[in-house]
Copies of this chain bind each other. A is one copy, B any other.
Amino acid sequence: MTELLEQLTSGDRRALSRAITLIESTRADHRERAISLLSLLPPRQALRIGLSGTPGVGKSTFIEAFGTMLTEQGLKVAVLAVDPSSARSGGSILGDKTRMETLSRNPMAFIRPTPSNAQLGGVARRTRETIRLCEAAGYDVILIETVGVGQSETLVAEMSDLFTLLLAPAGGDELQGVKRGIMEMADLILVNKADGDLLTTARRTVSDYSGALRLLRKRPQDPESFPKALAVSAASGTGLEEAWGEMRALADWRREHGHFDANRAAQARHWFMAELRAGLLARLDEPEVKAELQQLGDEVAAGDRAPGAAAARMLDRLKGMLG
Show the binding face of A for B, using Cβ within 8 Å.
34-36, 38-39, 41, 43, 125, 128-129, 132, 265-266, 268-269, 271-273, 275-281, 283-284, 293, 296-297, 300-303, 305-312, 314-315, 318-320, 322-323
- Knowing A307-B272, A311-B272, A311-B275, the reply to whether A301 touches B266 (Cβ < 8 A) is yes
Q: Which residue of B lies closest to A280 (CB)?
A: B280
Whether A39 contacts B309 by the Cβ 8 Å rule is: yes
Residue from B38, B278, B306 within 8 A of A38 (CB atoms): B306
Q: Within 8 Å CB of A296, what residues of B?
A: 272
Q: Within 8 Å CB of A129, what residues of B?
A: 308
Whether B275 contacts A280 by the Cβ 8 Å rule is: no
A43 to B35, CA, bound (A): 50
- Knowing A276-B284, A277-B281, A312-B35, the reply to whether A43 touches B303 (Cβ < 8 A) is yes
Whether A265 contacts B38 by the Cβ 8 Å rule is: no
A296 to B322, CA, bound (A): 22
A322 to B312, CA, bound (A): 15
Task: Please list the 3 inter-chain residue pairs (A to B) with the smallest Cβ-Cβ separation, ordered nearest first.
Answer: A323-B323, A275-B311, A265-B301
Residue from B125, B132, B280, B314 within 8 A of A283 (CB atoms): B280
A305 to B275, CA, bound (A): 13
Q: Within 8 Å CB of A308, what residues of B?
A: 34-35, 38, 125, 129, 275
Q: Within 8 Å CB of A301, what residues of B?
A: 265-266, 268-269
Whether A300 contacts B268 by the Cβ 8 Å rule is: yes
Whether B314 contacts A276 by the Cβ 8 Å rule is: yes
Whether A279 contacts B323 by the Cβ 8 Å rule is: no
| 18 A-B contact pairs sorted by A residue (CB < 8 Å) | A35-B306, A38-B306, A39-B306, A41-B306, A125-B308, A132-B306, A268-B301, A269-B297, A269-B300, A269-B307, A271-B307, A273-B293, A275-B307, A275-B310, A276-B310, A276-B311, A280-B315, A319-B323
Q: Within 8 Å CB of A266, what residues of B?
A: 301
Q: A280-B284, A280-B318, A319-B323 are in contact. List 8 more A-B contacts (CB 8 A).
A: A35-B308, A35-B312, A39-B309, A265-B301, A268-B303, A268-B307, A269-B300, A269-B307
Whether A281 contacts B281 by the Cβ 8 Å rule is: yes
Q: Within 8 Å CB of A275, what residues of B?
A: 307-308, 310-311
Q: Within 8 Å CB of A272, what residues of B?
A: 296-297, 300, 307, 310-311
A129 to B309, CA, bound (A): 11
Residue from B35, B41, B132, B315 within 8 A of A279 (CB atoms): B315
Residue from B35, B128, B307, B311 within 8 A of A309 (CB atoms): B35
